[in-house]
């Protein structure tokens, strides 16, 4: 009895197990065979300005895969890219995407920046994505290949610049920025003191190794000691950003103002497809310390008795000098620090009009002192003829003229009236003569 009951229970259990297995298999999704279109891989080049790139110009390759089948394992096999340098931007990105028919698929994305070595008609060979998928309950390895992509590289045809020119340095980028900083204000540096200049160049769409070498910063009157150059490449989703840092230790060797000319760095704008220029700004060494000392010097408060005594002594000395005809020491005249700095900038930019407008703010005594110097008077006359003369002669050396005008001058003891140099041009002298004649009549 027990055996029969046990045998009957064993058969019943076996049947229940078969029914449960059938239900589980029915609930699982059907694993159909892989059909064309279930696994796709494409490579799309992103050309700057929708134009063929030049040599060493960055092109982004966007690799995109869409897979209907669940992925168990994967491996990307990249072609050799023999005519290109390349770098991967970030990690691979896996996400879910909804297809037009409403099904959900797995998306794969990778971005690679390539830099062609030279012009020519090239082809990006297929990328291969080796996938391990579940097909009908079995692990199957499938190779998904991207179609080949044509990538022509153009020949530079403009008369200046280009990838093969030795000068200027070939700098293709989406944008270039320059930062200029000093460890101390260069206008306050004395002889024997040193200030450090640090210039940083950032170029979007390049790697650090392709940035130009350290510029030459050399001029009369200063000693420069070049420091090390650091280069780095920052990886961003939009492409690499190259950064180079240059530094110099600058020491003045003369007491006069030393202008540092601007340093122009040409670069090729890969977005607008035009040549542009970035600039390390012009600066001035020295020239700012005397004014700052005068501004920083605190006034000395004297007692009323001392002030009265000093006034009487000064008044007596003045009367004696006037009576005896003794010489009066002329005052010390000089342009203020801001005007001197603006003069140097206008001279560096070769802006003769701005240069002349700055001189119009000088006091009459200082203009008279300038006119007393034959070299300065000649330079001012040449500047006026270049701006207002009929023959429009070329402007003089504005840098040398700014240096001369920035030096302190001794004014005359008694300020005299000066006739304007352009009186013959503005008609005022003729009008004045005409009024005088009329009065005489």
Calpha distance 352→336 (Å, rounded): 20
> 29 lies in a domain?
no
Q: 116 with 192, same domain?
A: no
Q: Tell me what pLDDT residue 10 has.
A: 55
- Cross-strand bridge partners of residue 346: none
Gap between the Cα atoms of 294 and 110, Å rounded: 63
Q: Which element (helix H / strand E) includes 24? A: helix 2-27
- Report the pLDDT value the prediction gives residue 271, as an integer from 0 to 100: 93
Per-residue pLDDT of the chain in tens (441 residues, 90 and over written 9) = 444 434 444 555 555 544 454 444 344 444 446 777 889 999 999 998 889 999 999 999 999 999 988 899 999 999 999 899 999 988 999 999 988 888 899 999 999 999 999 999 999 999 999 999 988 788 999 999 999 999 999 999 999 999 999 889 999 999 999 999 999 999 999 988 999 999 999 999 999 999 999 999 888 889 999 999 999 999 887 789 999 999 999 999 888 889 999 999 999 999 999 999 999 999 999 876 444 444 444 444 555 565 565 566 556 555 554 554 445 556 678 888 788 888 888 887 778 888 888 887 788 888 888 888 888 888 888 888 887 776 667 788 888 888 888 888 876 544 444 444 544 444 444 444 444 433 333
Collect all residues with Cβ–Cβ distance below 8 Å to 258 and sequence separation of at least 6: 219, 220, 221, 222, 252, 284, 285, 286
Would 163 be classed as within a structural domain? no
Regarding whether 338 and 396 lie in a shared domain, the answer is yes
Whether residues 120 and 80 share a domain: the answer is yes
If asked whether residues 222 and 282 sit together in one domain, one would say yes
* Residue 363 placed within a domain: yes
Measuring CA to CA, which residue among 167, 163, 166, 168 is closest to residue 153?
163
Alpha-carbon distance of 298 to 308, in angstroms, equals 21
d(Cα 335, Cα 345) in Å, to the nearest integer? 15
Question: Residue 371: what pLDDT?
Answer: 86
Q: What is the pLDDT of residue 74?
A: 95
CATH code: domain of residue 108: 2.60.40.740
Number of domains in the chain: 3
The DSSP bridge pattern shows strands 332-333 and 409-410 to be antiparallel
Pair (142, 179) in one structural domain:
no
Q: Is 406 contained in some domain?
A: yes
The whole-number pLDDT of residue 383 equals 83
The pLDDT score that the predictor gives to residue 439 is: 38
Tokens standing for 41? 């891989």
Strand ranges for 263-309 from DSSP E:
263-269, 274-280, 283-285
Buried b (16+ CB within 10 A) or exposed e, 194-221: ebebebebbbbbbbbebbbeebebeeeb
Residue 28 lies in a domain: no
Please give the pLDDT value at position 366: 83
Q: Which domain holds residue 214?
A: 172-289
Are 147 and 46 members of one domain?
yes
- As given in the structure block, the two tokens for residue 88 are 């991967």
Residue 425 lies in a domain: no
Instruction: Return all residues near 11 (Cβ < 8 A) that are at least 6 apart.
Output: none
Instruction: Identify whether 218 is part of a domain.
Output: yes
Q: Kindly state the DSSP code that residue 31 receives in the 8-state scheme.
A: -
Clarify whether residues 130 and 223 are in a common domain. no
The pTM assigned to this predicted structure is 0.58
The two tokens of residue 199 are: 């210039």
> Considering only CA atoms, which of 93, 92, 100 is closest in space to residue 37?
100
Q: Are residues 210 and 273 in the same domain?
A: yes
Domain annotation covers residue 351:
yes
């Amino acid at each position: 009895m027990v055996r029969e009951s046990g045998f009957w229970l064993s058969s019943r259990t076996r049947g229940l197990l078969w029914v449960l297995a059938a239900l589980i298999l029915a609930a699982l999704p059907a694993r159909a065979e892989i059909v064309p279109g279930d696994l796709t891989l494409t490579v799309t080049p992103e050309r700057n300005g929708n134009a063929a790139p030049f040599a060493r110009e960055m092109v982004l390759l966007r690799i995109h895969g869409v897979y209907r089948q669940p992925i168990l394992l994967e491996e990307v096999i990249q072609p050799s890219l023999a005519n290109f340098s390349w770098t991967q931007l970030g990690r691979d990105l896996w996400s879910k995407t909804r297809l037009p028919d409403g099904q959900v698929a797995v998306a794969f994305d990778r971005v690679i920046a390539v830099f062609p070595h030279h012009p020519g008609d090239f082809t990006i060979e297929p990328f291969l994505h080796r996938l391990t998928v579940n097909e009908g309950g079995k692990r199957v390895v499938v190779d998904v290949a991207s179609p080949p992509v044509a990538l022509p590289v153009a020949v530079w045809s403009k008369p200046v610049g280009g990838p093969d020119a030795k000068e200027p340095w070939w700098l293709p980028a989406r944008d270039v920025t320059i930062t200029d900083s000093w460890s101390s204000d260069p206008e306050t540096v004395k002889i024997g003191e040193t200030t450090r200049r640090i210039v940083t160049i950032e170029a979007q769409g390049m790697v650090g190794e392709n940035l130009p070498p350290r510029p030459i910063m050399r001029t009369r009157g200063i000693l420069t000691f070049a420091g090390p150059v650091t280069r780095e490449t920052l990886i961003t989703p939009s492409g690499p950003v190259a950064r180079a840092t240059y530094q110099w230790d600058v020491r003045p060797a003369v007491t006069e103002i030393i202008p540092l000319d601007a340093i122009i760095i040409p670069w090729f704008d890969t977005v607008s497809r035009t040549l542009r220029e970035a600039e390390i700004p012009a600066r001035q060494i020295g020239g700012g310390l005397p004014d700052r000392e005068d501004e920083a010097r605190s006034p000395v408060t004297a007692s009323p008795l001392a002030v009265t005594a000093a006034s009487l002594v000064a008044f007596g000395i003045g009367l004696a000098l006037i009576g005896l005809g003794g010489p009066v020491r002329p005052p010390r005249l000089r342009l203020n620090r801001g005007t001197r700095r603006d003069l140097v900038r206008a001279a560096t930019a070769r802006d003769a009009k701005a240069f002349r407008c700055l001189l119009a703010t000088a006091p009459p005594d200082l203009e008279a002192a300038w006119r007393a110097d034959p070299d300065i008077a000649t330079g001012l006359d040449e500047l006026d003829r270049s701006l207002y003369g009929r023959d429009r002669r070329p402007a003089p050396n504005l840098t040398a003229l700014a240096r001369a005008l920035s030096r302190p001058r001794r004014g005359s003891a008694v300020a005299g009236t000066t006739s304007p140099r352009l009186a013959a041009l503005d008609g005022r002298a003729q009008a004045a003569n005409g009024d005088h004649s009329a009065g005489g009549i």
